[in-house]
Amino acid sequence: MDTKKEVFPVVHWFPGHMAKATRMIKDYVKKVDVVIELLDARIPRSSANPVITEVVGQKPHIIVLNKVDLADAKATKAWTEFFTAQGITVLAIDSKTGKGKKQLVKAVERLSKPIIDKWTAKGIRSRSVRTIILGIPNVGKSTLINSLAGAAATRTADKPGHTRGQQWVKIGKNLELLDTPGVLWPKLEDQRAAARLAMTGAISDDVYDLEAVMKQLLMQLTEQARDVLMARYKLKEEHLVSTDTLLDAIGRKRGCLVSGGVVDLDKARRIILNDYRSAKLGLLTLDAVDEEPYYTDGEDK
């Protein structure tokens, strides 16, 4: 199976609420001292919103790789080294368990110290350091804030982008966090990245081409998790000759049959997608540090 060349159009969208959220974020960034950018550790490049990079400007900036419990540890280390080499403070955390949250608070305090010192030098009464957590939908912003606050400080929803409203959340004596809506960018030119956003749940399941997304996921699973894939679905080598053959085989193994012995392909696709998202197919990082983007016209820009 050729895992390198096939990339299919997945999604072209930019809902109105995303455009509005981008404008709001630009306004909010002006009000904070330190910016925390939350990325999905499974897709650090695909989940990095260029709009966020644009609005951060010269503000102190921390990149947080979340959901490390679902990502490959070696890949997370490589991405940490990649961002560190650019002079960016980077932390790997698991917001669900709270792993890494103390280090995050310390990093915010360290980056904000020059700001506090400047206030002191000018005789300005010190206030709480204000920070903002930015990221795409479903990357775990509200879960992280809840973990830091020690209580359900923000309302969350199962669907990406459904955290409602914005609010300041007090963290200890000297830190305030502002929650924001998840924001995708104006044009998803990199269709490989678009597919990976769909695979991980950043894009709602009802707005993308499931067939195209799963074709790419199956190719990547065959390349990165061949043994796990074969073991979980009791496959043979002959089943891996193409994504169509593989999908049909998994559908039959999982009993996704309709009248006439035909496989319900959509049902099979959703089984595989759920298995991937719940790490039943192993701890996988889909973005590689040295991987080039793939644009819709097939040419790198």
- What is the spatial distance between Cα 76 and Cα 229, in angstroms, rounded to a whole number? 22
Q: Minimum mean pLDDT among 56-60, 126-130, 149-153, 222-226: which range? A: 149-153
pLDDT tens per residue across span 287-300: 999 987 655 444 43
- What is the spatial distance between Cα 237 and Cα 294, in angstroms, rounded to a whole number? 29
- Please give the distance of CA 212 from its chain centroid, rounded to a whole number: 19
Which domains can be identified in the chain, with CATH numbers? Answer: 16-178 (3.40.50.300), 191-277 (1.10.1580.10)
| Entry field: residues in the chain | 301
pLDDT of residue 237: 95
pLDDT of residue 148: 85
Provide DSSP, 206-253. Answer: TSS-HHHHHHHHHHHHHHH-HHHHHHHHT--GGGGSSHHHHHHHHHHH
Q: What is the pTM of this model?
A: 0.85
Residue pair 41/13 in contact (Cβ under 8 Å)? The answer is no
Sort strands 168-171 and 175-178 into parallel, antiparallel or unpaired.
Answer: antiparallel
pLDDT of residue 135: 86
What is the pLDDT of the chain when averaged over all its residues?
A: 83
pLDDT tens per residue across span 148-200: 887 545 444 444 444 445 677 888 778 888 877 777 665 566 788 889 999 99
pLDDT of residue 296: 45
Find the mean pLDDT for residues 91-112. Answer: 90
Burial grade of 232 (CB within 10 A; 0-12, 13-18, 19 or more): middle
- What is the spatial distance between Cα 48 and Cα 183, in angstroms, rounded to a whole number? 10
- Give the contacts of 180 (CB within 8 A, at least 6 positions apart): 21, 24, 25, 28, 132, 133, 134, 141, 166
pLDDT of residue 72: 95
**pLDDT of 204 strictly over 90:** no
Q: How many CA atoms lie within 13 A of 249 on its CB side?
A: 19
**Percent above pLDDT 70 for the chain:** 82
Find the mean pLDDT for residues 203-212. Answer: 87
pLDDT of residue 121: 85
- Give the contacts of 192 (CB within 8 A, at least 6 positions apart): 7, 46, 216, 293, 294
Identify the band that residue 49 occupies on the pLDDT scale cut at 50, 70 and 90.
confident
Over its C-alpha atoms, the chain yields an Rg (Å, rounded) of 21
pLDDT of residue 159: 46
Burial grade of 217 (CB within 10 A; 0-12, 13-18, 19 or more): buried
Look at the alpha carbons of 251, 255, 261, 264 in this order and tell me if their dihedral is positive or negative.
Answer: negative
Give me 55's structure tokens.
Answer: 């609005």
